[in-house]
């Protein structure tokens, strides 16, 4: 064998050794990844994955499918309990990977759902950076769309929310806001059912206004305006006001009883009695009930 042939053989042998090292490194990486994946799954799901990888002996496909079904049912039950606890019901979640290289992953998520009667949609980017055993997650480009008649009170809050990309604050505030709106709805419905001849809801039971009509004095109306305000930092507070509408002719019949003081008296009742008792006190004190009503 010539010297040139020997040199070529040495080069090929060196390349073979290099390829063998790369194959060994890839095999080790595959084993490590498999161990990491197995570590993150427990219970029936872990056994099912083990079967799929050919690591169990004699377990049939039907058994694995049955266990997977049980695992899915358990996850669905957990999701149901979480929805009942936090009041947030997600109807869809669409994920798109924008970047996946090395230790960093960037995804775009689109969520839609509802909290009581409030329907919302969210879009944001989720960045995950692996640093050793710790994973850092950050949210950016948050965009919120909320279907609500009270958007005016939400506008300043949502503007700051999107600037700060504070997704947790959104869900916490949305739940509180929804609860306060539900309180208003229940109260309005209660009075409409209890005093149907006096109470009307021009905008529906979820609107901000309830009207109290005097049965014997047409044109004399008391408006209960109940808004739910949201501050820029997510504080939620109800604002309830009594607004009287009394014709000039009626005011002349009671010159010594200024109607303007009714609003101040109502605010005092609110502080002492709370919304429901204060409204009922106004109804009874203003003699709005027909003769013989309870």
**pLDDT tens for each residue of 34-75:** 555 544 444 555 555 555 555 555 555 667 667 777 777 776
In a domain? residue 35:
no
What pLDDT is stored for residue 49 in this prediction? 54
The number of distinct structural domains making up the chain is 3
Distance CA 169, CA 189 (A): 30
181, 153 in Cβ contact below 8 A?
no
**pLDDT number for residue 147:** 78
Please indicate, yes or no, if residue 240 is contained in any of the structural domains. Answer: yes
Does residue 293 lie within any of the structural domains?
Answer: no
Are residue 227 and residue 141 in the same domain, yes or no? no
- Closest residue by Cα to residue 203 from 195, 192, 219, 214: 192
Q: How far is it, in rounded angstroms, from Cα 241 to Cα 243?
A: 6
Cβ-based neighbour number of residue 222 at 10 Å: 24
Same domain, 134 and 189: no
| Domain membership flag for residue 262 | yes
Asked if 222 and 243 touch (Cβ cutoff 8 Å), the reply is yes
Give CA–CA dist 212/192, Å, rounded.
10
Q: What residues in the chain have per-residue pLDDT under 70? A: 1-5, 9, 27-62, 64-65, 75-76, 78-86, 148-151, 217, 246-261, 286-294
> Does residue 227 lie within any of the structural domains?
yes
Indicate the helix (H) or strand (E) that contains 92.
Answer: strand 88-101
Confirm whether 16 is domain-assigned: no
Pairing mode of beta strands 104-115, 199-200? unpaired
Q: Report the CATH number that the domain containing residue 107 is assigned in CATH.
A: 3.10.450
Residues 122 and 221 in one domain: no
pLDDT of the residue at 69:
75
- Global pTM reads 0.65
Same-domain check for residues 183 and 275: yes
Residue numbers of the domain that contains 94? 87-147
């Amino acid at each position: 064998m010539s010297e040139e042939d020997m040199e070529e053989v040495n080069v090929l042998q060196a390349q073979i050794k290099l390829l063998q090292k790369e194959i060994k490194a890839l095999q080790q990486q595959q084993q490590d990844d498999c161990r990491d994946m197995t570590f993150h799954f427990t219970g029936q799901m872990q056994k099912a994955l083990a079967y799929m990888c050919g690591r169990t002996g004699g377990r049939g496909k039907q058994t694995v499918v049955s266990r997977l079904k049980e695992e899915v049912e358990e996850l669905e039950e957990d999701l149901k309990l979480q929805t009942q606890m936090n009041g947030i019901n997600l109807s869809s979640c669409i994920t798109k990977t924008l970047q996946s290289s090395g230790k960093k992953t960037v995804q775009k998520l689109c969520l839609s759902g509802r909290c009581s009667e409030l329907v919302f949609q969210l879009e944001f980017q989720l960045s995950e950076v692996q640093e050793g055993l710790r994973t850092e997650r950050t949210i950016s480009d948050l965009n919120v769309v909320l279907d609500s008649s009270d958007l005016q009170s939400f506008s300043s809050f949502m503007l700051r929310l999107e600037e700060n990309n504070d997704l947790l604050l959104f869900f916490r505030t949305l739940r509180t806001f929804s609860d306060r709106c539900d309180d208003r709805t229940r109260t309005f419905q209660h009075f409409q059912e209890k005093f149907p001849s006096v109470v009307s809801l021009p905008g529906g039971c979820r609107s901000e206004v309830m009207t109290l009509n005097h049965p014997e004095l047409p044109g004399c109306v008391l408006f209960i305006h109940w808004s739910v305000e949201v501050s820029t930092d997510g504080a939620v507070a109800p604002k309830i006001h009594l607004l009287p509408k009394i014709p000039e002719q009626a005011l002349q019949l009671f010159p010594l009883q200024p109607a303007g003081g009714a609003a101040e008296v109502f605010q005092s009742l609110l502080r002492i009695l709370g919304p429901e008792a204060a409204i009922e006190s106004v109804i009874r004190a203003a003699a709005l009930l027909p003769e013989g009503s309870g």
